[in-house]
Amino acid sequence: MFGFGKRTPIKEISPGVLHDMIADKEAIVVDVREPGEFAGGHIPGAINLPLSRFDPAQLPAAKGKLVVLNCAGGIRSAKALQKCGDVPVDTHLAGGMGAWNRAGLPIER
């Protein structure tokens, strides 16, 4: 009511666009899956901040880059975005790691 608690709508980015942004050093990826999932394979250069103990204050300083959250399928990253409040992070990977894998993009272990 009266505009309190309004949040910027969640934006989605496709795997191919994210891959290009990473290559151009325009994006930072934060993976909100649990450490075991992250160790099994993640987007190269991603930072692991599991949803189970996600704290927006721990997000990296963007310094002109887009911070993109990701998870296995997009649900946990959307939940993490809802926790961001006033932190200017509003984008996640559409389809998560499943979509990244289906696109045949590189994985780091």
**pLDDT tens digits, one per residue of 9-56:** 889 999 999 999 999 999 999 999 999 999 999 999 999 999 999 999
Q: pLDDT category, 7, cuts 50, 70, 90?
A: low
Non-local (6+) Cβ contacts of 72 within 8 A are 33, 37, 96, 97, 98
We find that the CATH architecture of domain 11-101 is 3-Layer(aba) Sandwich (3.40)
Averaged pLDDT of the chain? 92
How many C-alpha atoms does 91 have within 13 Å on its Cβ side?
A: 13
Direct distance between the N- and C-terminal alpha carbons of the chain, in angstroms, rounded to an integer: 46
Contact between residue 107 and residue 43 where contact means Cβ atoms under 8 Å apart: yes
**pLDDT tens digits, one per residue of 69-89:** 999 999 999 999 999 988 889
More confident residue, 4 or 90: 90
What is the number of other CB atoms lying within 10 angstroms of the CB of residue 57? 5
Domain ranges of the chain: 11-101
- From 29, 32, 59, 71, the catalytic residue: 71
Question: Does the structure show a pLDDT above 80 at 108?
Answer: yes
Q: pLDDT category, 3, cuts 50, 70, 90?
A: very low
Is 84 tagged catalytic? Answer: no
